[in-house]
Structures are given as structure tokens and as C-alpha cells.
Chain A
Amino acid sequence: MAEQQTPGTSSRVTYDYVTRTIARTLGGPSRGYFVLLGAAVALLLVGIITLLYLLRYGLGLAGYSHPVYWAVFITCFVFWVGIAHSGTLISAILFLFRSGWRTAVYRTAEAMTVFAVMTAGLFPLIHIGRQWYFYWLIPYPNERGLWPNFKSPLIWDEFAIGTYFTVSTVFLIMGLIPDVAAVRDLATGWRKKLYTITSLGWTGTNEQWRHYSKGYLYLAALATPLVLSVHSVVSWDFAMAIVPGWHATIFAPYFVAGAIYSGCAMVITLLTPIRKLFGLEELITVHHYENLAKLCLLTGSIVGYAYVCEYFIAWFSGNPHERAAFWYRAFGPYWWATWTMIICNAFLPLLLWVKKIRTNITALFVISIFVNIGMWFERYVIIVVSLAGEPYEPWANAVYNPTWADWGIMAGSFGWFFMWFLLFVKNFPAVSISEVKEVLAPPKRGQVRSR
């Protein structure tokens, strides 16, 4: 691994410094923290109440309108699954590529992944008509002798999301073990107990490291194709359908790129306040941000290219339905959604070509938020607009408007996500201790170190 200091980290940063700085983040929570947590829980309550209404009276409370039978809920589902992607990308793929800069940010990203999947997983359950029968989608032996239909992309989804949640969770836990051990050795009181248990008796012997680092490698190797597969499967929910605007072979790569794009944006959005709050400027440096920005730029360009492709093929195919669908998309009643998405996702990130902007954290923060919005609208456009705008049948078209129920559930999902995230960063090291150390130059004899 990198023998010399990673660019951006000062020589003050020693093993000890790393351990203590990160351990400090677990210290007594500030008022600001509780305000944030309170806000998150409040949002969650809004969602829960809305859900109770939906269960009692039916999905009619949401804005659905024939033939728009999927709308905000599925939009949010895809949005959150997308968010979930950068985490595993940064922790697994970049790990395989041995890129040093990931170490400082991957823990946050990974936590984000887990909680985003947790959030996404709720939406399919909420959006089905008879939520109390969701378990019929699971292949369990039952009295009727019925099984789910494995030809349905929804079942693929179920398996993909389930696997993704499990794997990313264990991946997160694995990464945590040595760090929890490190914190354990500094902690006192109930936290000591907590970390003693959660560190599973980690002592950092050569044997432990030997199995651990190999295992971690294999996990990464498994997670990498998983990341790519999961959003491909999600995209197939649409690509397997014959709806014009859905039925496209480009969907898998297009969605994966989009997912990573939105994921990285979300990482920036989350990292910035944490960095400030916990004073991690020394560990999470502009260098890291710049790399994230570059990743955004890459994936963003892929997404932009995909947009162009879609419209080009719609024209090139000469298929009247396809053409109509995309004309409707751009100039129909939903033009505003479409153009929001195109501006936020395709044009805004072009600013990142400029190094000044790329290295300006505030600018990045703002851009990242716009990208998040843009990506949400991308899903909205793909799902709602494709269904609304004359899918084959000239007679069947409708204009759909979300209602309070849609927004309520969506707000709840954000509350749910941030609640978990905030709880995590206060109780577990939000930056990997051991891996940050790895990329530091190891202490050698004859080197003078300031203590």
C-alpha cells in the first residue's frame, strides 16, 4: 500500500492522532445533534401516520389515476436503492482497485448504503394494494401449495434487494470490528461493555488479520458484482415491461450509473456536515472531495449520455409509440419534471470540470443537493410520465398529481433514513480507524515524530 503520506494529510496525523480524533466523534452529543435527531423522528412519525391512513382506507388516498398505477412510492423506492449504491461501490470496488482515498469516506458511505436499503425496502410493501399479504411474495411452504412466480421481475427484485441488504450489512459490520476494538480500548463505562461485545474479542493478532483481510477481500469481490446486479435488476422492473420509455436495453447500465451518481452526491451531502460537526477536516480532506466529485462527473456524464441515447433511439427506431412517449416526456404536461431532471443531472455536473469548483466544498455541497433532486425527478419522469403519456392506447392517458399521502410517506422515508444514520454516527466510528492508518506511513525508527 501507499508508503508515502496520502496527499492532503499533514504529518501531524499519526496513528494515535487518528484513533483519538475518530474516538472523539463518539463523545457526548451536542444540542445540534438532538435537534437533527428530533427532526428525523418527527418526519418518521408523519410517515407512520400516513401509512396508518393508507392501511385503513386504501391506496386511493394517494394520487394514483388510471393508467398511472405506479408513482411516488416506486419513485422513492428506486431513488433510495440508487442512494444505496455508492456505499458498496466505494467500499468494495475501490477497495479492489486499491485506491487509497476511499479509506476516509467509505464507512459513512457504507452506513448510508445499509440504511438506504432499509428505507427502500419499505416502499414495495407500502405500495402494494393488500399490504397485509406481502408475505405471499416470499417462497415459503404453505397450505395452498402455491409458490411465487420466479418469472416476475418483482421476485428478482425481492431476492436482489434482500441479498444486497444482508451483504452490505455484514460488510459494514466486518469493517467495524477492528475499529470498535480500538474504541473499546479507549472507552469506559457502558460503552466499554457495548464495544467489548461488538468487537467480538478482536485483539489484532497476526492470525486474526490474516483471515480477516483475506475474508474482507472475498467479500469485496462478491459485493462488486452484487452492486452492479442489484440496480440492473431494479431497472429490469421497467425494462422487462413493454411500456414505451421503459422497454430499453440501455436501462441496466443507465440505472447503475445513475445510482452511483446519486449515491456519490448523497455521500457528499452527508459527509460535509459530519466533517464540520466532528472536526474531521484533517482526515477527510479536499482531496477526498475532489475524488468524489470526479466520480460524480464520470457517472453524471454516463447518465447524460443515456438521456441522449433514449431520445435518439426513440427517433431512430421510428416506432410511433416510442416517439410519442418521448415527445410527451419532453413537451407534454410533465415538461417541468423532465427539464428539472435534465438540467440537474446532465448540465449542472459539467461545472465539475472546473478544478476551482471541484475543490470548493461549499460548491460541491450545493451541487450534490441539486443532483439528488435531479435524480429523484429522473425516476419520477421514467415511472409516472411513461405511464401517463399514451402507453400504446391513444385513449388511455391521464394526468397524475401526487397527494398529501404520497408526500407524507416520502417525508417519512427521509425521517427513517436520517434517524438511523444519526444514531449510527454517534455510536460507531463514522470513519474507519484502521484503514485510515493503513494509508499513513508506518512509524519507523529514526523518524522524529511530534507528539
Chain B
Amino acid sequence: MVLILALPLAAVYGQQAQSTSSPAASRYKAPVISDTGDLKGPRQPIFFRHDIHAGQDQIPCMYCHYSAAVSSEPGLPSLQTCMGCHQLVGGSTPSHQAEIKKVRDAWRERKAPEWVRIHALPGFVRFPHMRHIKVLGTGGCANCHGDVQTMPQVYQVSTLRMGWCVRCHVERKVTRDCSVCHY
């Protein structure tokens, strides 16, 4: 459902990512990364740059993490989703092209990349994403995940520990009943 709605949008952004002529007035410009060594966060099999996709190209989070608004799981984009754009988008710099090639190869070999998990909750905690999106709006992701739009490589900004959750719940005067998260 989400997918279908978002498709034309994607095409548009795909194009814009290509065209340098588009008026980028207030648009965030992703830096060119020469050395990925000193970037924060774990190395991923493919150097996927959230700052380019979400920041520069301003693709909404929900486009890839399609189920965050309806399910407790945010959802991980299928390779098909990636290919939706990268059929066309080949990347501007050699380094980008190299990474995009990995995606296309993966698609050809029907072998999905194994992403390294960054945000993990213990098994005894339930975090319904949809409830939080419902309240915070689709822009609310940053509250916990930080300003991903400027992260070349995503890393964990919040502790995701209980005290951190509770503090926010108390500030916003919402329940801190244990059995809301623990069952």
C-alpha cells in the first residue's frame, strides 16, 4: 500500500538526485566522504548514505521504512525498493557508483545484503513504532534516531535504555505503566 503511493514520488526524487540543475536553495548538501574509516557507527556491507537519501534527496523515512506508521516493526526496505530508483540512478562519483553496483549485483544474484543492526531493544521490551509515529508525526523519528539526515553512516544516538524511555514518557505526561512495554 505504502509502496504504491510512494512510487511516483520515488521516481521524482530519483530524477532530482540525477539533475544538478535543480534549485537547491535550502537543500542540505551531503558532503563528499573520502575516508570512511573515521565515521561513527558500524560498517555496513554497502556504504548506504542516509545523508544523501534522506538529507540531500529528502526521501521521506516512511518511503523505505514503510511499516513504521502501521506496525511495531519499522520495516526494512526490500532490494526491490532500492532498485526502484537505482535502475536509473547510477551515482555521480566513482565511489557512489561502486556502492550502487553492489546493490545491483545483489539484485542480480537475488542475494539480499546483511545489514548490521544498530538499534536493538532487549527481547523483553515492546516498542510499538506506530503509536509513536501517530503522536510525534512522520517527522518524529529524529526524537530517538537523531538527525539521520546528516549521518553519512548511521549510528546510535540515544541510549535506548529504560531510564531514557521513562524520562521522555514522564516529560510528555504519558503512561509509564510497566506492562505497556514489558510483557
Contacts and interface: CB of A to CB of B under 8 A. Distances in A.
- Direct contact between A and B in the complex (CB less than 8 angstroms)? yes
B166 interface: yes
- Name the interface size band of chain A: under 10
B33 interface: no
Nearest to A142: B163
Interface of B: 161-163, 166
Contacts of A144: 161-163, 166
A28 interface: no
A133 to B, nearest CB: 13
Contacts of B163: 142-145
A142 B162 CA distance: 10
Contacts of B161: 143-144
Contacts of A145: 163, 166
Contacts of A142: 163
Contacts of A143: 161-163
Interface in A129-158: 142-145
B25 to A, nearest CB: 44
A143 B162 CA distance: 7
Contacts of B162: 143-144
B159 to A, nearest CB: 8
A272 to B, nearest CB: 55
B179 to A, nearest CB: 14
B39 to A, nearest CB: 28
B79 to A, nearest CB: 39
Nearest to B167: A145
Interface string A102-145: 00000000000000000000000000000000000000001111
7 contacts: A142-B163, A143-B161, A143-B163, A144-B161, A144-B162, A145-B163, A145-B166
A143 B160 CA distance: 12
A146 to B, nearest CB: 8
A145 B162 CA distance: 9
A253 B163 CA distance: 43
A412 to B, nearest CB: 33
B162 to A, nearest CB: 4
A111 B162 CA distance: 45
A226 B163 CA distance: 37
A345 to B, nearest CB: 44
A136 B163 CA distance: 15
A143 B161 CA distance: 8
A154 to B, nearest CB: 19
A147 to B, nearest CB: 13
A144 B166 CA distance: 8
B171 to A, nearest CB: 13
A141 to B, nearest CB: 11
Interface string A341-354: 00000000000000
B160 to A, nearest CB: 12
A148 to B, nearest CB: 15
Contacts of B166: 144-145
A144 B160 CA distance: 11
B119 to A, nearest CB: 18
